[in-house]
Structure 1
Amino acid sequence: MDYFLDNIWWILLSANFLIVLITAGYELMHFREPVKSISLIFALFVLPVIGLLVYYFFAQEFRKSKLFNRKKLYDQKIIQRWENELMLNEKDLENIDRDCIEQKMKLVRLLQNNQKKPVTFHNKVRVLINGENKFSALFEDIKNAKHHIHIEYYIINSGRIGNRLILLLCEKAEEGVKVRVSYDYVASRLSGKAVKKMKSCGIEVYPFMPVWFPNLTRKLNYRNHRKMAIIDGKIGFIGGINICDEYVNFEENPTEKLFWRDTHLRIEGHAVKSLQAQFLLNFNFISGKELKVEENFFPKIDLPEKTAVQIAASGPDTDWQNIMEAILTAINTADEYIYITTPYFIPNNQILTALCMASRIGVEVKIIIPEIGDSVIARYATNSYIEQLLESGVQVFHYHKGMVHAKTMVVDGVLTSIGSCNLDNRSFDINFEINAFLYDKEVAQEMTEVYKKDLKETTELILADWMQRPALEKIREALARLWAPLL
């Protein structure tokens, strides 16, 4: 015992080194992206104990291990029938409006083959700029709900907006409308009182993957980052705006909080069926129940509008990085321009290379990112990519009016993407995400005008000036870049 106490630090360091060797070997045998593996192994060896904690909490690959087992909703006959009715076949593809979609047919086929997600045509969409417009529309639709309300959000906080939502949901539940709520356990700040109130009103409410130390801590890093709502199976909301006060620019005392720039989408039509299916899949997973699928979940919808919408969902439970592959395909097939807005730009090599190549080919590539942002390490990691972008001719803009949180992309005046997915590894490979891809000239034109308006609140970064930033900044960026695959 005396020998142990006298040499405890050497013993602990030796034990740590042995565990690190075993863990490094395990990591190498899983054949992940070399850059990610190198970052993890670097952390393991350079940071005793802390490196192991980082690996345990943030680095486990659940897509291959299938921790998130395949949900069984698609095995039910009603969903199979719905898919068969909506799935495009070769004959359908011949009848598509070629002026609008043919340029992006590769993307259509990719999502169709990856996850059997059809492109739907009978949709009416409305772009909602900032939280105040999104919540005005959402609350109005909730008030008019007749059969069910399904809510799935990364963040639902108890506050001015959250409490108003809960009050509305309780009122509808007491009227006989079936209400189901899913919120992310780690990200949300929903009080126990609020949860108890919803349950007392008959609302089915479940947290997404609760984290209880120590047996479930490995799930800490895999979160449901989606922000969507479905009302009566006919109206859906999807985008970047959470249920939280900071996302709303209140008219009173506007200078007391940071201006928040975000984008959401209201969809009425057949694309809502895809959102509904994703909600039901996750709700079965978190509730541990097999929710009985009702006809009213997928009602017959007859709309004259014909906006083409395709829903892409991805997460640790999907075989492919569906949204990342869709974004990559959109970039690689661009002919004229690519306009991107993202709060976190920490791309993988594929996306970074594709953007730089597109610019050098002659495609106009513009990217809006926050000047400050809400994460210091993410800001420095993002800055580490800017020089390479500028050298390739990509135009990068710092949004300085406030926090830009929108996750949007407009390509060639025909394709628009709006959703929850950031351009970073966490969204591509770790979190549950969902995006809407719209093949429509009018929507693309509207989003292009929105983009031009946002550019007025930005400062363009110039390569010569950027190269003159302080050496300390470059060192911070280099260190943050090492952690980029884990951010």
Structure 2
Amino acid sequence: MNLFYLIFSIVSILNLIFAITLIFLERRDPTATWAWVLILTLLPGIGFIIYLFFGLRFRKRKLYRKKQIADFRFSRDYSTSLNRTLFQIHTPYIRRMVKVGYKSHPSSFVGYNKVDIFTKGVLKFQRLFEDIEKARCHIHINYYIIKNDHLGRKLLEILTQKAYEGVTVRVLYDSMGCRKLPKDFFDPLIKAGGKAVKFAPSFLDINYRNHRKIVVIDGKIGYVGGFNVGKEYLGEKPEFGFWRDTHLRLEGESVDTLQYRFLLDWNFASNEEVDYYQRYFPEKEIIDKVKVQIVTSGPDSREEEIKYLFLKMIYGAQKFIYIQTPYFIPDQTVLEGLKIATMAGVDVRIMVPDKPDHPFVYEANHSYLGLMLESGAKCYRYKGGFLHSKTIVVDGEVASVGTTNMDVRSFKLNFEINAFIYDKKTASELRDIYLADLEICEEITLEKYNQRSVGMKIKESIARLVSPIL
């Protein structure tokens, strides 16, 4: 019994030390700080282990400082294009948004792009495979999740064939998102001359995931959005049903930024130091004139660039803000921005899934939606399957599509990428898609919300308490 008390005392002291470290040494959002203190206090021993792997930031600072320096060195030429492109922007609101986006490296506002929108996985992958099969120079792929199912194996088969044909193939995949992949999954590709590299394979980096989805083909065609690689994204898993997501196919100057971002991440993960040869950045044909800005953020960023652009969109809205996100767990700045917009008469609508894909998410979503309902926003649950789309449309003039969820993890911890589109036609198309989705949604009214059970209220309270670290 004495040994038990000795061990318990040591664990309690360690928890106290980590709590003090958390409060005084870590520069965190206060709500996240108190969430960790609560976990350390209520779960002695277990809380210590959870904090070691998910909360400690010292390793992040050391590991990603080098990446930050390397990224800046290779992307500094982008900053020189700011003055060259801003004169093309006639709307002050958009000009200010673009300037905020330039804090991201690399980021460039470019005016000559063609944008195709995909909301169904079957159509997205059909077009993607067609583009890959036509590749002549290189194929660069970055996905958070690649599954060992018929879709993942088909992608592997096509990439392997292209590698045998002499096309340069590089695949970057997240070690956590692809943790169930067999170790020899990419062996056929590697045998054919292609390359596949894990991003952040160390278990100590489990908290910092590469959530980006990027494909670049011959430096001319790019893909970015929410779809990963697996049969559920085709709507073939009964527990999810139809998978509703949004993905973009880009042609034009914006592909260069996708290429830069891929190569920066590849160099970091592989230690290969791929040079920025001209063949990776060919001259682009002018196909259309859609203005696009690709913006990234992550643990290696000095600021929360994508979140800042979200805030700029919110504060600049005059008519409406339409949001789709699987996780509506915003920080205080975004929450207050949306409340202020609602009180100012802006039509704020938020759409979330009707079913969760992670524990606590449904309750956390519900809790924050309640706050928005009280401020006058309209909130909806998507009933047509699983909603994984991450889009924002403002006033039918500006839109964002990408990998970033409306939560603290995406803002602070994950490596994310979004395309910000400054084009009325494309933004209006995304608005129309949103309105069509509303037809298969259930509206959450304030009256319904107030009728929730005591059990649900307790679950929401717990979810809210730990939401800053979900």
TM-score bin (small chain): over 0.9
* 1:428 matched residue in structure 2: 411
Give the counterpart letter for 1:93 in structure 2. L
Offset, 1:103: 2.9
* 1:153 matched residue in structure 2: 143
Gaps of 5+ in 1: 1-5, 212-216
Match of 1:219 among 205, 219, 228: 205
Match of 1:245 among 224, 231, 255: 231
Describe the SS at the equivalent of 1:192: coil
Match of 1:22 among 17, 25, 32: 17
* 1:106 matched residue in structure 2: 96
Partners of 2:58 and 2:250 in 1: CA distance: 32
Partners of 1:140 and 1:157 in 2: CA distance: 20
Match of 2:63 among 63, 67, 75: 67
* 1:362 matched residue in structure 2: 345
1:58 partnered with 2:54: yes
1:371 partnered with 2:354: yes
* 2:7 matched residue in structure 1: 12
* 1:178 matched residue in structure 2: 168
Match of 1:228 among 196, 200, 214: 214
Match of 1:121 among 104, 108, 111: 111
Describe the SS at the equivalent of 1:396: strand
Describe the SS at the equivalent of 1:54: helix
Offset, 1:21: 1.4
TM-score, normalization: structure 2? 0.96
Instruction: Assess, with a 3 A threshold, how the Cα gap between structure 1 residues 196 and 366 changes in structure 2: closer, same or farther.
Output: same
Contact 1:71 1:285 in 2 (8 A): no
Residue-by-residue CA offset, 1:179-224 (whole Å, 9 max, x unaligned): 000111111132233221111111110011113xxxxx32111111
TM-score, normalization: structure 1? 0.92
Matches within 5 A, 1:65-104: 65-68=61-64, 69=66, 70=68, 72=70, 74-76=72-74, 81=77, 84=80, 87-89=81-83, 92-96=85-89, 98=90, 101-104=91-94
RMSD: 1.7
Offset, 1:158: 1.2
Partners of 2:338 and 2:352 in 1: CA distance: 15
* 2:248 matched residue in structure 1: 265
* 2:45 matched residue in structure 1: 49
Instruction: Assess, with a 3 A threshold, how the Cα gap between structure 1 residues 135 and 383 changes in structure 2: closer, same or farther.
Output: same
* 1:3 matched residue in structure 2: none
Matches within 5 A, 1:403-418: 403-418=386-401
Instruction: Assess, with a 3 A threshold, how the Cα gap between structure 1 residues 394 and 63 changes in structure 2: closer, same or farther.
Output: farther
1:140 partnered with 2:133: no
Partners of 2:59 and 2:315 in 1: CA distance: 26
Match of 1:210 among 181, 201, 209: 201
Offset, 1:415: 0.6
Moved more, 235-244 or 9-18: 9-18
Give the counterpart letter for 2:412 in structure 1. D
Give the counterpart letter for 2:109 in structure 1. V
Contact 1:122 1:304 in 2 (8 A): yes
1:479 partnered with 2:470: no
Instruction: Assess, with a 3 A threshold, how the Cα gap between structure 1 residues 193 and 66 changes in structure 2: closer, same or farther.
Output: closer
Match of 2:267 among 274, 284, 298: 284
Q: How many percent of aligned residue pairs carry the same amino acid?
A: 39
Contact 1:71 1:281 in 2 (8 A): no
Give the counterpart letter for 1:203 in structure 2. G
Residue-by-residue CA offset, 1:46-96 (whole Å, 9 max, x unaligned): 1111111221121122697242122525535xx555664xx131x642333
Contact 2:79 2:102 in 1 (8 A): no
Contact 1:342 1:423 in 2 (8 A): yes
Give the counterpart letter for 1:443 in structure 2. T
Give the counterpart letter for 2:114 in structure 1. K
Moved more, 225-234 or 288-297: 288-297
Instruction: Assess, with a 3 A threshold, how the Cα gap between structure 1 residues 278 and 116 changes in structure 2: closer, same or farther.
Output: closer
* 1:214 matched residue in structure 2: none
Contact 2:72 2:105 in 1 (8 A): no
* 1:200 matched residue in structure 2: 191
Instruction: Assess, with a 3 A threshold, how the Cα gap between structure 1 residues 445 and 33 changes in structure 2: closer, same or farther.
Output: same
Contact 1:367 1:395 in 2 (8 A): yes
Moved more, 9-18 or 264-273: 9-18
Describe the SS at the equivalent of 1:241: coil
Give the counterpart letter for 1:405 in structure 2. H
Describe the SS at the equivalent of 2:184: helix
Contact 1:315 1:321 in 2 (8 A): yes
Instruction: Assess, with a 3 A threshold, how the Cα gap between structure 1 residues 444 and 58 changes in structure 2: closer, same or farther.
Output: same
Partners of 1:325 and 1:274 in 2: CA distance: 19
Offset, 1:256: 8.4
